[in-house]
Amino acid sequence: MSDAAAPPVVTYRALFKTFFWIGLFSFGGGLMPWIQREVVTVRGWMRNEDFVAGFAMAQVLPGVNSTNMAVYVGQRMRGVPGAAVAVVAMLTGPFLYMLAASLTYKAVLGAPAIHAAMAGAAAGAIGMILRMGVGVMASACRGAAPIAVMAGVFVAVGVLKWPLVPVVLVATPISILLAWLGRGGVKTPGAKGRQDA
């Protein structure tokens, strides 16, 4: 592997700071677009293609998607300790928020400014999700096969309201097979010998 392809050296401090701020200001969910912006666009810690691979894994594996993504990014940057640092950092801010909110629940709930702030944060989260969706689609959908799988999943889950887990269990092997066939499938030893000759 060349030095150009090697991932950048990311300190534990930088990893903690990044995920702490992501967790601290991520009201109402929508963490994936923010993680993508911070990790890929702003800091350049990984390529968008690598982020998309982790995004797909985080969606399929059990658990909270954003926590799965923190584990993925942290592990890619600094191994198992990096994964632990990223998860702890991302959960520290919300934990402190919830602790404070539980102590001041009745007083905070009646404040009109809180409702306005939550509505604004929700609108911002929707915008970030749309932006990330367009970026992921542009990098992942190269050719007719990925677009067909994406459209099929959208119709099955979004339009026909089929359960997500069976749709994913059917779409995943189909998608892997189409990607494998698109890259040429298995090359026979004879074909390899002819290419080397």
Q: What is the pLDDT of residue 188?
A: 45
What pLDDT was estimated at residue 7?
63
pLDDT in tens, the chain (197 residues): 444 456 678 999 999 999 999 988 776 566 888 899 999 999 999 998 899 889 888 888 888 888 999 999 999 999 999 999 999 999 998 888 888 877 877 666 667 777 777 777 777 777 877 777 777 777 666 777 878 888 888 899 889 999 988 998 898 888 888 878 877 655 545 444 444 44
Domains of the chain by residue range = 3-140, 143-197
Q: What pLDDT was estimated at residue 195? A: 45
Q: What is the pLDDT of residue 145?
A: 80
- Output the pLDDT for position 187: 52
DSSP output for the chain: --GGGSPPP--HHHHHHHHHHHHHT-TTS-HHHHHHIIIIIIS-SS-HHHHHHHHHHHHHSSS-HHHHHHHHHHHHHHHHHHHHHHHHHHHHHHHHHHHHHHHSHHHHHT-HHHHHHHHHHHHHHHHHHHHHHHHHHHHH--SHHHHHHHHHHIIIIIIS---HHHHHHHHHHHHHHHHHHHTT-PPPHHHHHHHH-
> What was the pLDDT predicted at 102?
78
Q: What confidence score (pLDDT) does residue 125 get?
A: 73
